């Protein structure tokens, strides 16, 4: 028997929301997923949204991760500095209403470059908490903004955000390549050719223009253009990593994009390890447990 709900965990993203009724032992007893992401809400909408979740799951504590704590969300939960552990995140949770807390993100404030994350840190540290990944590891989280995340002894120490997915969506719908990238994007000879081109490219913008020239000069089949362009961009992203042959890369994603990144990592002489679903709820549960 799973047990009764003890609290509500919410992964509140930009466009989507996933909410879970969680037991005290960390099991999911009920869930919902919808398009009520932060872009669909105003700040005044959140109290009613929380009330609706409690009507659905019960009047429990609520622990939220993701963009709900951003400047676009309910209230900004200030970033904490890396290195950061689950315990650090738990201690810095922002209470926005009685028994309703937002988990903060993590920032790189000093050093050669700034970067921020909000939501991914919970998934990474959740994977470590369940043993799905070791405490010292390299993670890749494909998405609109791909993340490369480094951990040492259970703390997130460094990360890099790459706008690969967003840039591909932009060139697919706007600019000179729009209309040429309507074909499928999947693992194929064209995709792998693009990977090789992207890894070796010193000038990504020039490599992308070659997609247009290749089609016009009948060196690239129109139907393969999208897969080739995607390969160029993912290959350029993966090609920035010089350490792929030194340790496994733990993939925190599912679906087609994770498959493509897995191929790209393997083609670059790395080894991709898929992390099972459930890391986000595991991370939220570890944070809830430390504050309970």
Q: In this predicted model, what pLDDT tens digit does every residue of 139-153 receive, in sequence order?
A: 999 988 999 999 999
Q: For residues 141 and 252, give the distance between their C-alpha atoms in angstroms, rounded to a whole number.
A: 5
The chain-wide mean pLDDT, for the chain, equals 95
- Quickly state the pLDDT bin for 1 (edges 50, 70, 90): very low
Residue 290 has pLDDT above 90, yes or no: no
Residue 29 has pLDDT above 50, yes or no: yes
Instruction: Please give the domain boundaries of the chain with CATH numbers for all domains.
Output: 7-132+278-291 (3.30.420.300), 162-274 (3.30.420.310)
pLDDT in tens, 228-246: 999 999 999 999 999 898 9
- Quickly state the pLDDT bin for 17 (edges 50, 70, 90): very high
Question: DSSP 3-state assignment of 260?
Answer: helix
Contact 237, 146 (CB under 8 A): yes
The closest alpha carbon to 287, from 12, 22, 15, belongs to: 22
Helix H segments across 111-247?
Answer: 120-130, 164-173, 189-200, 204-216, 225-238
DSSP state of 212: H
* pLDDT score of 292: 52
Residue 50 has pLDDT above 50, yes or no: yes
Q: Looking only at Cα atoms, what is the longest distance across the chain?
A: 65
């Amino acid at each position: 028997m799973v047990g009764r709900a003890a609290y509500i965990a919410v992964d509140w993203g930009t466009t989507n929301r996933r909410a879970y009724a969680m037991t005290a032992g960390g099991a999911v007893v009920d869930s919902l997923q919808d398009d009520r992401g932060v872009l669909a809400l105003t700040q005044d909408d959140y109290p009613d949204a929380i009330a609706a979740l409690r009507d659905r799951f019960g009047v429990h504590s609520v622990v939220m991760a993701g963009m709900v704590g951003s400047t676009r969300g309910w209230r900004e939960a200030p970033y904490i500095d890396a290195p950061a552990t689950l315990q650090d995140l738990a201690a810095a949770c922002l209470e926005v209403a009685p028994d309703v807390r937002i988990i903060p993100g993590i920032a790189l404030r000093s050093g050669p470059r700034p970067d921020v994350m909000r939501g991914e840190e919970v998934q990474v540290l959740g994977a470590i908490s369940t043993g799905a990944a070791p405490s010292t590891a390299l993670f890749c989280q494909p998405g609109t903004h791909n993340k490369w995340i480094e951990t040492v002894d259970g703390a997130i120490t460094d990360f890099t955000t790459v706008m690969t997915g967003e840039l591909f969506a932009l060139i697919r719908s706007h600019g000179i390549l729009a209309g040429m990238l309507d074909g499928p994007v999947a693992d194929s000879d064209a995709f792998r050719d693009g990977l090789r081109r992207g890894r070796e490219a010193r000038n990504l913008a020039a490599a992308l223009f070659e997609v247009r020239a290749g089609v016009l000069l009948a060196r690239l089949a129109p139907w393969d253009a999208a897969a080739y362009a995607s390969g160029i961009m993912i290959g350029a992203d993966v090609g920035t990593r010089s350490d792929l042959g030194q340790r496994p890369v733990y993939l925190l994603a599912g679906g087609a994009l994770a498959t493509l990144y897995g191929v790209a990592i393997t083609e670059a002489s790395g080894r991709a390890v898929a992390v099972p679903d459930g890391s986000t709820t595991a991370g939220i549960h570890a944070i809830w447990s430390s504050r309970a």
